[in-house]
Chain A
Amino acid sequence: MKKKVIGLIDSDSGNIGSIKKAILKSIVRKPYKLKIIRTKKDFINVDKIILPGQGAFATLINSLKKKKLYNELLKSITDLSLPYLGICVGMQILASYGHENKKIRGMNIIKGDIVKFSKKKLTIPHMGWNSISIKKENKVFKKKDLHLKDFYFVHSYYFKGVKKEDVTATTNYSINYPSIISKNNIYGVQFHPEKSHKIGFKIINNFILKS
């Protein structure tokens, strides 16, 4: 049987070591293989895509564009409808716009804006373990597995104005904001499943096996 290919995008924005480790652990003795995507042609034959991202919205988008991965990624997850898991900034770039320093266009797949937490005196970044509340479960994110569980977060910006139907889970940090979003074949998590011990691994595993 032909193995399905999990494409992990190396955008040069943060290291992919932990996420790679989690994917490899998840596909042991299963009909999947891992492919690291560094150039445009690495997208060939890929079945599912994972994009971890750290740092700034613009940095990730520019890095993907510079490496000529941006358009190919967009095509793969919209025209070809390949399952996509965006982690942290990898989720944020799905938005219509990012407002870090200046307003920058995102992939505009999930309507909404990436904005900074604005409460005065709030500790920023939102860093550490926080719980999620499942609002609308799906085949990747199951309420019985994940509801009220803690995950590791590090971010100063959040996804604002997301349509209710696209919000899978919310987290509270001065406000309730979407910490998991899903729309058809597209999934995004604000936290870092690859840093979130066993429960984080479960998310990566579910995406690979069930998306």
Chain B
Amino acid sequence: MLKVRIIPCLDIIKNKVVKGVKFKNIKTLGDPVLFAKKYSDSGADEICMLDITASHEKRKTFLKTVEAIAKVIDIPLTVGGGVSQLNDITTLLNAGADKISINTAAVLNPNLIKKASIKHGSQCIVVAIDGKRHNKKMIVTIKGGREKTDKTLINWAKKMQAFGAGELLVTSMDTDGVQKGFDKEMLKLINKEVTIPVIASGGVGKLRHFIEGYETNSSGLLAASVFHTSKYSITKVKNYLKRNKIPVRL
């Protein structure tokens, strides 16, 4: 039976893991390699890392961090942040990433997803979607939620599937960072409309939130703070899910 994936996410600035609330009030938490190794050893099903500054001059440092993490883990690694052209994808794959997450660049240039999935295969192309409610509609935002687009969430998700995305990483800007649980409504809706796997992101603060995430039919559940602050270990989350009859890898 296919297990639900528990995915810790490392937001990275200058080779340090950071955490901010809704991308503000950013705090430094530590060495990403140590975090990644700990998570891989303790049963994380996959690791996600994002270059959240994605500035041109810091790119080399980020690539070194990707290489260093790929060396110490033996589970899949998804990397995102600042991917704007085909060449960025190749560079990250060569640095040891297994999947590349593309967000703003997909909105600005949807054909990038087509080209990338033809060149590297859909299995390594993840489209990250930052959804938000606006005038009673769910829309797509970019640049870390700061900028609204004219795209509605479901149409965009379907389009990205049609363009060759192998997976969607869906973050609700309405629930991210505030630890009150996943955006169940948004995730259920999107899972109903696409047939590619969806990773749910944004809002985990309590153990039961993982169950709620699973109930949206998402195939992966992503969280950051609760793991980085050691509020919960990966093992604790998985044992809890198992006790609640949810299939996990132990």
Residues of chain A touching chain B, judged by Cβ–Cβ distance below 8 Å, are 14-15, 17-18, 21-22, 54-56, 59, 121-131, 150, 152, 154-156, 172-173, 192, 194-198, 200-201
Q: A21-B71, A195-B75, A196-B74 are in contact. Are A15 and B93 (CB under 8 A)?
A: yes
A128, B2: Cβ atoms closer than 8 Å: yes
Please state if A127 and B197 are interface contacts (CB–CB under 8 Å).
yes
Q: Which chain A residues border B196 with CB–CB below 8 Å? A: 123-125
Interface, chain B (partner A; CB < 8 A): 1-5, 40, 45, 70-71, 74-76, 93-94, 96, 98, 120-124, 166-167, 195-197, 219-220, 249
**Which residues from A are CB-within-8-Å of B96?**
15, 17-18
Give Cα distance in the complex from A6 to B122, angstroms: 30
Given A54-B121, A123-B195, A154-B166, 7 more pairs with CB closer than 8 A: A55-B120, A125-B166, A128-B220, A129-B5, A130-B1, A156-B122, A196-B75
- In angstroms, Cα B197 to Cα A192, docked, is 18
Which one of A14, A56, A130, A198 contacts B3 once the chains associate, using CB atoms below 8 Å? A130
- Give CA–CA (A41, B54) in the complex, Å: 43
Task: Say yes or no: A54 contacts B74, CB within 8 Å.
Answer: no
Chain B residues, CB < 8 A from A156: 122
Residue of A15, A54, A124, A152 touching B75 (CB-CB under 8 A): A152
Given B3, B93, B124, which contacts A128 in the complex, CB threshold below 8 Å? Answer: B3
Nearest-CB residue, chain B, relative to A201: B74
Query: How far is B1's CA from A128's CA once the two chains are assembled, in angstroms?
Result: 10
Q: How far is the CA of A123 from the CA of B194 in the complex (A)?
A: 8
CA A55 to CA B76, docked complex, whole Å: 16
